Amino acid sequence: MTAQLIDGIALSAQLRIQVAQRAAALRGRGVVPGLAVVLVGDDPASQVYVRNKVKACQDNGLHSILERHPAALTEAELLSRVEALNQDPSIHGILVQLPLPAHIDAHKVIEAISSAKDVDGFHVASAGALMVGRPGFWPCTPYGCMKMLDSIGYDLKGKHAVVIGRSNIVGKPMAMMLLQKNATVTICHSATADLKAMTLQADVVVAAVGKRNMLTADMVKPGAVVIDVGMNRTDDGKLCGDIDFNAVREVASFITPVPGGVGPMTITMLLVNTLEAAEQM
């Protein structure tokens, strides 16, 4: 069996039409939905990510500002910038790009963002709301993965979902979202004794490790749905995910590519969260 692709570019394009319509409706009421993206330092990958986020806003009728700060910015200075953005009525969503320089406590900065503007969904209040099934912002990457499963009409009820990776940004919130849809969820990580034994039981595998080829075809149950959150580089510099794509594709029923899979969906869900923040104000 050759898996069908879940095309994150095509799905994003569909969702972004709705985003643009909602943004236009808000503008009609005199509200221009606004996102502030804060970048500290000059990490090359972060620069690309923030540029893509700002451009996606501009292309879909949202207002966006990009604040760039030198790596030497102090924690106190960053906290005061966040506070200014909390108070700024033209800004509905605030995103501080991670990672931050080592001298800044990222947790403290995230907690300083108003939870009403936490469109990344990283705030403890957002994580807690997801955990107990209350309304709140969902982290964009796992939210995008859920939309990809929705797009193929996949019913998670009673299915076994295996999430590989336990980060606060992807693995843990992903597990909560799958659980909320009545999947039986296993979270695997670097200390899991027998990863292959776990993934072979999975109807759905979400790989979010950041290591190339960590999920190979012999680890996948025939017909499983495989979602690749990885963002890695091959030896010749090409973007690739965590999955041995060409081989896993011959075993899975559905698979997400890298590039063109989860990546564009992450940005799309950031737009959706920003709109929601603006609609709620």
Q: Does residue number 231 form part of the binding site for ligand GUN (CB under 6 A)?
A: no
Contact 139, 170 (CB under 8 A): yes
Identify whether the C-beta of residue 161 lies closer than 8 Å to the C-beta of residue 185: yes
Q: Which of 23, 94, 96, 208 binds ligand GUN (CB under 6 A)?
A: 96
Taking CB under 6 A as the binding criterion, the range among 92-100, 130-138, 172-180, 235-243 that sits at the site for ligand GUN is 92-100
In the block, tokens 């939309």 appear at 147
Q: How far apart are CA 96 and CA 276, in angstroms?
A: 18
- Pairwise CA distance, residues 117 & 123, whole Å: 10
Q: Residue 130, CB half-sphere, CA atoms under 13 Å: how many?
A: 25
- CA dist 202 and 234 (Å) reads 27
Q: Which of 60, 64, 97, 273 binds ligand GUN (CB under 6 A)?
A: 97
Q: Name the segment binding ligand GUN (CB under 6 A); options: 5-13, 69-77, 95-103, 257-265.
A: 95-103
Q: Which of 20, 98, 129, 247 binds ligand GUN (CB under 6 A)?
A: 98
Which residues in the 105-164 window bind ligand GUN by CB under 6 A?
Answer: 120, 140-141
Closest by CA position to 50, among listed 68, 63, 62, 33: 68
Instruction: Pick between residue 25 and residue 48 the one whose CB is nearest to ligand GUN.
Output: 48
Dmax (CA) for the chain in angstroms is 56
For ligand GUN, the closer of residues 220 and 261 by Cβ is 261
By beta carbon distance, the residue nearest ligand GUN is 98
Residues marked active site are found at 53, 97, 120
Which of 99, 103, 51, 43 lies closest to 73 in space, CA to CA?
103
Which is nearer to ligand GUN, 141 or 186 (by Cβ)? 141
- For ligand GUN, which residue of 35, 54, 95, 265 counts as binding (CB under 6 A)? 95
Nearer to ligand GUN, 186 or 266 (CB): 266
Task: Output the smallest distance, CB 187 to ligand GUN, in A.
Answer: 19
Question: Which residues are registered as beta bridge partners of 255?
Answer: 5, 226
Instruction: Please give the residue ranges that form the binding site for ligand GUN (CB under 6 A).
Output: 95-98, 120, 140-141, 266
